[in-house]
Amino acid sequence: MTLAVLGRPLLSRIAALAILAALIVLFCGGPLAAYCDLIADNNDALTVKSAMLQRYRALAGDNSPSPGPSTPAPAVPALLYPDMPESQASALLQETVKNAAAAARAQVQGLQVLRGEAEGGATKIGVRVRASGDMASLRSLIYAIETARPVLYPDNLQIQSHATSPDAAPGALDFQLEVSGFKTEPRS
């Protein structure tokens, strides 16, 4: 009688271990295997893209090795104008605004350089733009200014329409806005 009592706990423990082993096998065959496959696929894609980068660098004539962990990443487009005289930074700002206006099909009637202001380690430079065009050209100009690098800020927009009556077709608009950018202060 004691052997029969001792056999049942042993049998239930073996059954529990068998169920645990089956669950481990199912886990390793299911989600864990899928995760390992995903990692392998991503590693293969990364290897292919790395080889493509090396080919592009070779075509461009840049034989430098790919940046490693110790090499700093390439610089992102500057958010500020570099350390240069304020007159040069203003000239660059004017050129940027003129090119944006030309791309937006807005006719620039005048540019006025605004006085620079020192603000928290940077100098604010700005221009006042007087231009004309339709609503689409104004929208394109503002979008081009807001997405330019170094970062530019449109401000104080004033719009005047030449429509003689409310029923008249939309015509040319005269608009004026101030565009500001920032340049770094010289290091002391």
- 89-108 confidence digits (pLDDT tens): 899 999 999 999 999 999 99
Domain range for 117: 86-184
Find where tokens 């231009």 sit: 131
Identify which of 150, 135, 148 has the alpha carbon closest to the alpha carbon of residue 183.
Answer: 150
> Are 96 and 56 found together in one domain?
no
> Are 167 and 91 found together in one domain?
yes
pTM: 0.55
> Are 97 and 174 found together in one domain?
yes
> Are 138 and 92 found together in one domain?
yes
- We report the CATH number of the domain holding residue 115 as 3.30.70.60
> Are 26 and 110 found together in one domain?
no
* pLDDT tens-digit map of 116-135: 888 777 889 999 999 999 89
> Are 114 and 37 found together in one domain?
no
Q: Report how many domains make up the chain.
A: 2
Instruction: Give the model's confidence band at 73: pLDDT under 50 very low, under 70 low, under 90 confident, else very high.
Output: very low
In this prediction, residues 31-54 reach a mean pLDDT of: 82
> Are 100 and 176 found together in one domain?
yes
**Judging by beta carbons within 10 Å of its beta carbon (0-12, 13-18, 19+), is residue 166 exposed, middle or buried?**
exposed
71 found inside a domain: no
